[in-house]
Amino acid sequence: MSDNEFPREIAASVRRMAGHFPAVVVTGARQTGKTTLLTKLFGDYNYVSLDLPAEAQLAEEDPQLFLSRHSVPLLVDEVQYAPRLFRYLKVEIDKRRDMNGRFILTGSQKFSLMQGVSESLAGRCGVLELEGLTVQELGPVFSRMEEGEGMAGILARGFMPQLWKDPAMRPADYFASYQATYLERDVRQLLNVSSLRDFDRFMRALALRSGQLLNKSEIAKETGINSKTADKWLNVLVASNQVTLLEPWFANPGKRLAKTPKFFFNDVGLLCFLLGLKGQAVTESYLIGAIWETFVFGELRKYLSLAAPEATIWHYRDQSRETDFIIEKDGRLTLAEAKWKELPTPRDFAQALKVHELLGPRARLPVMVLCRTRQSFPVAEGLLAVNAFRFREHLA
C-alpha cells in the first residue's frame, strides 16, 4: 500500500506556515508519519536526520560546522537530539528574516524540543503537531477494514500509519516494537530511569484508567513509586505525545488549576496493547466504554487541532452532573458523550442535559452522543445520536 493513499490533512497548514515563517517545527509522537509527510512536501530540501549518532554529535558539539555542511533550504529530522543547535538556527534566521521556509524541523520529544523553540526561535517559527491518522485520511481503507476486522480490529490497530500501510502486520507485534523503542530511546535517555520495567508498569497502570479522572497518588501506590516520581513520569508521557490531559470546564478559569483533569492515551491501539487486549477481546472487555471514549476523544482532538485550533475541549464533573466533552468554539459550548452502543436512548443524554442546563445560554443544541450508529438520527428534540466516524458536519 502506498503512502499516497493517506494524504495528511495537516499538509496545507505546513505549507502555509512555511510561507509565513523562516522555520516550521512539526512535533508528534514517534512513527506518526512526520518524516514521510515532510520529505514529500519539501522533496527539494537538503535532508539530515539526527537519529544518526554522528550527525547528532556534530550538531550538538559544533552547530556552526553542522550548518555549514548542510545548506538551506534544510529539513532536520529529530532535532531534539541537538538542543544547542537552536541558538545557531536563530542566528542564521536573523541574517535573512525576510526569507521564509528555510528550515523545516521535526521532533518526537516535545519536552526538550519546545524548550529550545521557546528560548531561541520565538516569533521565528510556526509550530504544528502531527498525530496518528484520522478516519477521514484513511477513507475507503477504513471502510474495508471495518467490514473485514470489525470495530474490535480497528480499535486494536489504532491509527499509526505503518499498521494501515501493512494490514497483514499484527498490532501486537508492531506495538511491542514501538514500546521497546520508546522506552529505550526516549525514556532511558531523557529520564535516566534505572528500571525500564518500572516505567512500563507505570504505563500499564495508567492504561487501566484511560478516560478517568487522574489520581496520581493511587497510581504511584500501585506501581511502588513516590508521588514526585509519578509526576515526573506523567509529564514525560504528556510531553512526548503518549497521553493527553483533559482539563475540567469552569466559568472561572482560575478554578481549573485546582481541579482534577481526565487523561487519555493518544493512540487507542497502544492503549489496547498495554491492556493486553487483541481481536474480539477488545470489544468483549469490561473496559470497552473507556476504550471507545479514548478513540472518540482522539478523533475530536485531531479534527479540532486543524479545523479550529482556537477551540478547546473540556470535561465536566461534579457531585450530581457530568459530561464527557464540552467543546468551546466561537464562544459557544457543545456537549458530547461517547457511548459504546448503536441506538442511544434519551436516558443516555440525562447527565449531559443537566450540565447543559447549568451552562446556560452559551450551551447550544443539540447535545450529542457519539456512538456506533450507522446513520446519525434525532433521539428527541435537542438530542442527536451521531456516527462517531462522521461527526464533523455537526461541529462545523
Q: Which of 271-280, 355-364, 387-396 has the lowest mean pLDDT?
A: 387-396
Condensed to tens digits (0 to 9), the pLDDT of residues 52-86 reads 999 999 999 999 999 999 999 999 999 988 999 99
pLDDT digits (tens, 9 = 90+) for 20-37: 999 999 999 999 999 999
Residue 360 has pLDDT above 60, yes or no: yes
Map 303-354 to HEC letters: HHHHHCCCCEEEEEECCCCEEEEEEEECCEEEEEEECCCCCCCHHHHHHHHH
Spatial CA neighbour of 344 closest among 318, 301, 317, 374: 374
DSSP 8-class letter at 13:
H
Amino acid of residue 372: R
Architecture in CATH for domain 308-394? 3-Layer(aba) Sandwich (3.40)
In angstroms, the CA 56 to CA 78 distance is 9
SS3 content of the chain, % helix, strand, coil (to 5): 50, 15, 35
Q: Are 222 and 176 in contact (CB under 8 A)?
A: no
Report if pTM > 0.85.
Answer: yes
Greater model confidence, 269 or 193? 269
**Percent of the chain having pLDDT more than 90?**
83
Specify the pLDDT at position 2. Answer: 47
Secondary structure (3-state) at 380: strand
Instruction: Single out the residue of 33, 167, 23 nearest to residue 91, CA to CA.
Output: 23
Which pLDDT tens digit goes with each residue over 131-173?
A: 999 999 999 999 888 888 899 999 999 999 999 999 999 999 9
pLDDT-based confidence at residue 254 (cuts at 50, 70, 90): low
pLDDT of 4 reads 45
> How many whole angstroms separate alpha carbon 252 and alpha carbon 37?
40
Residue 295, pLDDT > 80, answer yes
Residue 383, strand partner residues? 367, 380
As given in the structure block, the three cell numbers for residue 101 are 521556509
pLDDT at 359: 94
187-232 pLDDT tens trace: 887 787 778 999 999 999 999 999 999 999 999 999 999 999 999 9
* DSSP labels, 222-255: HHT--HHHHHHHHHHHHHTTSEEEEPBP-SSHHH
Res. 113 pLDDT band, cuts 50 70 90: low
Query: What's the mean pLDDT in 39-63?
Result: 97
Domain regions of the chain by residue span: 3-129, 135-297, 308-394
Residue 367's CB: how many other CB atoms inside 10 A? 22
Quick check: 388 pLDDT over 60? Answer: yes
Lowest mean per-residue pLDDT among 229-233, 247-251, 299-303: 247-251
Residues 114-137: tens digit of each pLDDT: 667 778 888 899 999 999 999 999
Antiparallel, parallel or unpaired: β 74-77 and 103-107: parallel
Secondary structure (DSSP) of 278-290:
-TTHHHHSTTHHH
For 89-104, write each residue's pLDDT tens digit: 999 999 999 999 999 9
CATH-assigned architecture of domain 3-129 = 3-Layer(aba) Sandwich (3.40)
pLDDT at 3 over 50: no
pLDDT of residue 291: 98
Average pLDDT of every residue of the chain: 92
Flag whether pLDDT at 9 surpasses 60.
yes
pLDDT beyond 50 at 1: no
Q: Please tell me what DSSP assigns to residue 133.
A: -
- H helices of 126-215, in order, are 135-138, 140-148, 150-157, 161-165, 171-181, 188-191, 196-207
Query: Model confidence over 336-354: pLDDT tens digits?
Result: 999 999 999 999 999 999 9
193 conformational bin, left if phi > 0, alpha if psi -120 to 50, beta if neither: beta
What is the rounded CA–CA span in Å between residue 28 and residue 305? 13
Q: How confident is the model at residue 255 (pLDDT cuts 50, 70, 90)?
A: low
Q: How remote is the C-alpha of 20 from its chain's centroid?
A: 25
Share of the chain above pLDDT 70, in %: 96
